[in-house]
Amino acid sequence: MSVAACASRPEKSRGRLHAELGRVVRGPRDDFQRDRDRIIHSIAFRRLRHKTQVFVAPDGDHYRVRLTHSIEVAQIGRGIARALGLNEDLTEALCLAHDIGHPPFGHAGEDALKAAMTAHGGFDHNGHTLRTLARLECPYPRFDGLNLTWETLEGLAKHNGPVTNPGWALAEIDGDFALDLASHASLEAQVAAIADDIAYDNHDIDDGLRAGLLDLNQLMEQPFVAANFRAVEGRFPGAPRDRLLRELVRDQIGVMVNDVIAATTAHVADAGVASVEEVRAAGRTLGGFSAGLAAEERELKRFMYANLYHHPEQLAAAEAANKVVGDLFAAYAADPRLMGGDWPARLPGEIGATSRHIGDYIAGMTDRFAIDRYAEIFGRDAVPAALAHA
């Protein structure tokens, strides 16, 4: 079966939640292109430039942040989609939006919000991505949210597979605009998910080396990395080490991308699917690595967790970030007037809704904004040392 037969098509979209009557036509764009552009022009997307990717509130200009990561994911995802004949615009929209729901300080901030909101449904960044795009980002006169197509919302909800137990945020969106959470998502969404893995597997290596938290000898313990580095050295004998390492990252991305293209083509053929609806009903993920490379990639992830993400410096920064977010939540819960803008005026009356309102406010913060608000409330000297540089 041709992979292209399984592509999502904008003319067959299930539409948008709100009718856009009287809308001014702004250029010859289809619905998926319009979704992508709405995401790019959103305030939430712009805030990603000051949100943690690996390093909390990085003080180096060359480290990746959520914004640059999302752009790199989109570049990888679009290339894979083109090779497979899938819809590039839908793939790009999903890649660009997939991290919009991340709070400040990455997973450390998410853990703190989850703990603070335990009694009121908790917090997860993927559900908050949907909530941000469908509820909180409000540039249009007639409705809340960006009013994205069903296919974009579905892809964001299920890019990592079916959702059997959605959190409150995703459940609310699904209640308004049923996203068939029990099925798989489109191949475009599956490609966006694997492009995310490819991007951070390799670019986090680049940033880890730059920061001095990883070294080449450690990396050479990974057979996948060692084989690729030997190939790079063979092609460029005597080249400077820093250039060889950057070539290594590019090569590894290429190896992974080529594997995904070949493996996905084979998976689609084996499954015998011939439409996007058959992809959703296939009962398994079709877009991804071959079994061999999937095993190597899992081992690489284990290495990265042990040597970079759980490095003592990273753990100290995560602990400090967790404290900042937790203390901010407690301060706003005790006195909501401390929140900025019109957030106090829009405070709901019910305690659970109030908790979620505070969570929305904090989740929208950038790293530096959160640190500055912390300093305002508790004093600059109270900012944890691991974050004092920001």
pLDDT in tens, 243-287: 999 999 999 999 999 999 999 999 999 999 999 999 999 999 999
Closest CA to 39 of 81, 86, 95: 95
Q: pLDDT grade, residue 143 (50/70/90)?
A: very high
Percent pLDDT > 90 in the chain is 85
CA–CA distances in Å: residue 168 to residues 124, 156, 175, 370: 9, 16, 10, 24
Dig out the tokens for 278 from the structure.
């058959």
Count the neighbouring beta carbons within 10 Å of the beta carbon of residue 283.
10
pLDDT in tens, 148-165: 999 999 999 999 999 999
Report, as an integer, the average pLDDT of 2-12: 94
User: Based on the number of CB atoms within 10 Å of its own CB, is 286 exposed (0-12), middle (13-18) or buried (19 or more)?
Assistant: buried
Q: What is the pLDDT of residue 60?
A: 65
Dig out the tokens for 361 from the structure.
């406010």
User: DSSP secondary structure string, 36-58?
Assistant: HHHHHTSHHHHHGGGSBSSSSS-
Q: What is the pLDDT of residue 57?
A: 62
